[in-house]
């Protein structure tokens, strides 16, 4: 059986080479979307048991409003939970789950900046970045046993599989996305927020604000796994003409979310 694994993985690589991200990048996708959704649901349920949920009505309102406007462009039903956590963070998981920290809601200036954060995180899910990471791990390190672990998420190997989801914050063994994934999620996210009627220019303002918060201090947790630097801002600025076209189209269609705290 062990001799067959390299052959199986090689065949899987050939079959999945045609997988393409929303930006046109070729991907190695080995895990099924159902498997990744199962991992996402398990991770989100664990978080809801371990972390307090905020009862701040204003925070709930703006988070739900922004998420609904964004996910209206992606389709599907998404669960949104505001966690009572002072760290400025947010994340999205396979299985259509979105988490927002109260710390993030306390530093944003407007709905558009929150849309930039949540749109970026949804971008990871749309681009199947968690699946890509898990698939790479399957091919390189864990072999086919990791796929079997999906059916037993509470096992040691199952917990490793959950860790491959790449949440915005590093919970336990969860690992950050790569810089390539971050750049791709930036582009997907800014287009998504623009199509939903949010001002895409606020994405740049948001990343500048996050960078300023970390200057001279311990890096903001969100930036520890989502590097915000001149390269990221430069990429957004270069893409802004396209995003502004989407924004103008959204405005002409009457898409004005009107989310307030």
Question: Catalytic residue positions?
Answer: 121
The C-alpha angle 49, 51, 52, rounded to 5 degrees, equals 100
Q: How far apart are CA 213 and CA 248, in angstroms?
A: 31
Tokens encoding 94: 């396979």
Beta strands in the chain (DSSP E): 19-20, 26-27, 79-83, 90-93, 97-101
DSSP H helix total and E strand total for the chain:
12, 5
The count of C-alpha atoms lying within 13 angstroms of the C-alpha of 245, restricted to the half-sphere facing its C-beta, is 3
Tokens encoding 84: 């009572």
How many angstroms from the chain centroid is the CA of residue 63? 15
Helix or strand or coil: residue 53?
strand
Helix or strand or coil: residue 20?
strand
How many angstroms from the chain centroid is the CA of residue 155? 25
Indicate the pairing of strand 90-93 with strand 79-83.
unpaired
* Residues in Cβ contact with 85 at an 8 Å cutoff, skipping those fewer than 6 apart: 51, 52, 101, 102, 103
Q: How far apart are CA 22 and CA 15, in angstroms?
A: 19
């Amino acid at each position: 059986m062990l001799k067959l694994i390299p052959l199986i993985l090689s065949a899987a690589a050939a079959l999945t080479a045609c997988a393409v991200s929303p930006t046109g990048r070729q991907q190695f996708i080995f895990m099924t979307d159902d498997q990744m959704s199962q991992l996402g649901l398990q991770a989100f349920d664990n978080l809801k048991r371990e972390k307090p949920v905020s009862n701040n009505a204003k925070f709930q309102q703006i988070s739900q409003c922004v998420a609904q406007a964004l996910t209206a462009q992606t389709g599907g039903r998404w669960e949104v939970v505001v966690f009572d956590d002072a760290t400025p963070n947010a994340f999205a998981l396979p299985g259509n789950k979105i988490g927002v920290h109260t710390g993030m809601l306390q530093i944003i200036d407007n709905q558009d900046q929150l849309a930039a954060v949540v749109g970026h995180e949804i971008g990871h899910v749309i681009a199947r970045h968690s699946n890509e990471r898990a698939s790479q791990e399957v091919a390189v390190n864990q072999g086919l046993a990791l796929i079997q672990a999906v059916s037993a998420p509470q096992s040691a190997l199952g917990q490793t599989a959950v860790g491959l989801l790449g949440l915005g914050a590093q919970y336990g063994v969860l690992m950050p996305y790569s810089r390539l994934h971050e750049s791709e999620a930036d582009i997907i996210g800014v287009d998504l927020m623009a199509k939903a009627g949010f001002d895409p220019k606020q994405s740049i303002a948001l990343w500048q604000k996050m960078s300023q918060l970390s200057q001279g201090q311990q890096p903001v947790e969100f930036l520890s796994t989502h590097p915000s630097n001149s390269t990221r801002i430069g990429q957004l600025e270069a893409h802004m003409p396209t995003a502004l076209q989407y924004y103008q189209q959204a405005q002409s269609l009457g898409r004005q979310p009107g989310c307030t705290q």
